[in-house]
């Protein structure tokens, strides 16, 4: 029975799935270091230890590559329970659960999803299926915010967008090694809680 890698000419031949993952691993690192899109393919090929031609074989253009990175990060968030967190009935519980999961994601992988979603290079190019996941979760939280905090739709969306920066920035600091994981978790929970309390009707 053949193993995952077949020996050919003394060199391990990686399976397509492993090779694709290798390219995506390198692309995540390059994306964070570069800070935006598109990525310099020479640098990516060197980091992934593949040819540019092979990158194109897996990802015909950089929009495909970026959507693959986004799909990977969304899959990790969903596997961690992001949709379940957003579906919690209590807004405070839902916001804390989602913020905590997003913090852990950014702390571990860096702000990959944020960069892809916000980069002008991807304007109008986000995979509709991925945009639907983002929008579905945002709508759930926005509905809870409108009901619990008595906010207008635009105010609820704006408030949630601002609060998203809390786990994201804390996660960035942890990923960069400038903040401990425990301290990042503590800050995220505390700041999300205080933000929600400040928006609560009749808050003093």
DSSP string across 93-154: HHHHHHHHHHHHHHHHH-SHHHHHHH-GGGTTTS-HHHHHHHHHHHHHHHHHHHHHH---HH
Quote the pLDDT of residue 202: 74
Quote the pLDDT of residue 14: 84
Task: Please state the rounded mean pLDDT for residues 13-28.
Answer: 94
Tokens of 155: 């105010």
pLDDT band at 124 (very low <50, low <70, confident <90, very high): very high
Quote the pLDDT of residue 2: 45
Pairing of strands 6-8, 11-13: antiparallel
Task: Please state the rounded mean pLDDT for residues 20-34.
Answer: 97
Share of the chain above pLDDT 70, in %: 93
Share of the chain above pLDDT 90, in %: 90
Of 11 and 43, which is predicted with more confidence?
43
Task: Please state the rounded mean pLDDT for residues 43-67.
Answer: 97
Domain range annotation of the chain: 63-199
Evaluate if residue 91 carries a pLDDT over 80. Answer: yes
CA angle 98, 37, 34 (to 5 degrees): 85
Alpha carbon distances (Å) from 161 to 29, 50, 78, 192 = 25, 38, 19, 12
């Amino acid at each position: 029975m053949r193993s995952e890698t077949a020996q050919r000419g003394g060199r391990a031949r990686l399976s397509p799935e492993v090779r694709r993952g290798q390219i995506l691993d390198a692309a995540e690192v390059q994306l964070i270091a570069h800070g935006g899109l598109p990525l310099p393919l020479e640098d990516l090929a060197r980091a992934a230890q593949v040819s540019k031609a092979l990158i194109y074989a897996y990802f015909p253009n950089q929009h495909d590559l970026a959507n693959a990175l986004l799909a990977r990060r969304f899959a990790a968030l969903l596997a961690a329970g992001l949709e379940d967190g957003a579906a919690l009935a209590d807004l405070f519980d839902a916001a804390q659960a989602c913020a905590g999961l997003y913090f852990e994601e950014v702390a571990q992988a860096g702000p990959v999803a944020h960069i892809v979603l916000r980069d002008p290079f991807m304007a109008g190019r986000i995979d509709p299926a991925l945009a639907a996941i983002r929008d579905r979760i945002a709508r759930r939280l926005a509905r809870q915010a409108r009901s619990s905090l008595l906010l207008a739709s635009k105010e609820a969306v704006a408030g949630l967008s601002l609060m998203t920066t809390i786990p994201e920035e804390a996660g960035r600091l942890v990923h960069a090694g400038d903040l401990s994981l425990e301290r990042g978790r503590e800050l995220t929970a505390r700041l999300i809680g205080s933000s929600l309390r400040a928006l609560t009707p009749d808050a003093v």
